[in-house]
Amino acid sequence: NAGVMQNPRHLVRRRGQEARLRCSPMKGHSHVYWYRQLPEEGLKFMVYLQKENIIDESGMPKERFSAEFPKEGPSILRIQQVVRGDSAAYFCASSPGQGIGYEQYFGPGTRLTVT
Amino acid sequence: DAKTTQPPSMDCAEGRAANLPCNHSTISGNEYVYWYRQIHSQGPQYIIHGLKNNETNEMASLIITEDRKSSTLILPHATLRDTAVYYCIVRVVGNNRKLIWGLGTSLAVNP
């Protein structure tokens, strides 16, 4: 059973461009979480999605950031008009449910560099 | 903000037990203690969790004090591959599904 997959692993964008980060959850997992990690800091929750629904987006910046988890295909975190402050590692996690016993399993992350 | 306090760094000799403390003095009755670790540049890895009883799995043991205000993660025989940042997280399971991370403890296992 393959783990959580994220691509690309490294992404370089110039200021003002768009960044698209993809996350394929583990097989059988319908819950996806996105976290951001700035250098030398802990992870910060961004958004929690179930298939076709955003459940909690309390950690998402109000502008330029959006996320989706369509019925078919991977979850996408989209950052429009990137700025240098968006440079970070973005981690996706998935779980089969939300209760005890349904732990979050993390992907390897996408490292975004904005030049 | 994270509801836990951990020492920023610790050292351990290879083959010895690593004991990582965590304070969570404001923990509520319905909150669990979770431990994750992050090996350099990789995604976090789940280790163990508990409510009030001590727990053990193939990776580690978790000791929670009777008042639940602190806990200790024990790696019984640390190896060089256990060098990582260890995060202690308090989590309400149910409506609050997200994990709130602090800065963790950077554990260095030395040969």
Direct distance between the N- and C-terminal alpha carbons of chain A, in angstroms, rounded to an integer: 37
Which residues on B lie below 8 Å from A42 (Cβ)? Answer: 2, 87, 101-104
Q: Over the stretch B41-100, which tens digit does the pLDDT of each residue have?
A: 799 999 999 999 899 999 999 999 999 999 999 999 999 999 999 999 988 766 557 788
Q: Over the stretch A26-40, which tens digit does the pLDDT of each residue have?
A: 998 999 999 999 988
With b for 16 or more beta-carbon neighbours within 10 A and e for fewer, the A80-108 pattern comes to: eebeeebbbbbbbbbbbebeeeebbbbbb
Q: CA A115 to CA B15: how far, in whole Å?
A: 44
Among residues A87, A92, A85, A86, the alpha carbon closest in space to that of A109 is found at: A92
Residue B2: is its pLDDT beyond 80? no
Check CB contact under 8 Å for A43 and B32: no
Tens place of pLDDT for every residue, chain A, 115 residues? Answer: 579 999 999 999 999 999 999 999 999 899 999 999 998 888 999 999 998 899 999 999 999 999 999 999 999 999 999 999 999 999 999 998 777 667 889 999 999 999 9
Residue B63, burial from CB neighbour count under 10 angstroms (0-12, 13-18, 19+)? middle
Q: CA B78 to CA A23: how far, in whole Å?
A: 32
Residue B43, burial from CB neighbour count under 10 angstroms (0-12, 13-18, 19+)? buried
pLDDT at A2: 72
Give kind and range of the element (H or E) at residue B32.
strand B31-38
pLDDT at B101: 86
Check CB contact under 8 Å for B101 and A44: yes
Which residues on A lie below 8 Å from B45 (Cβ)? Answer: 106
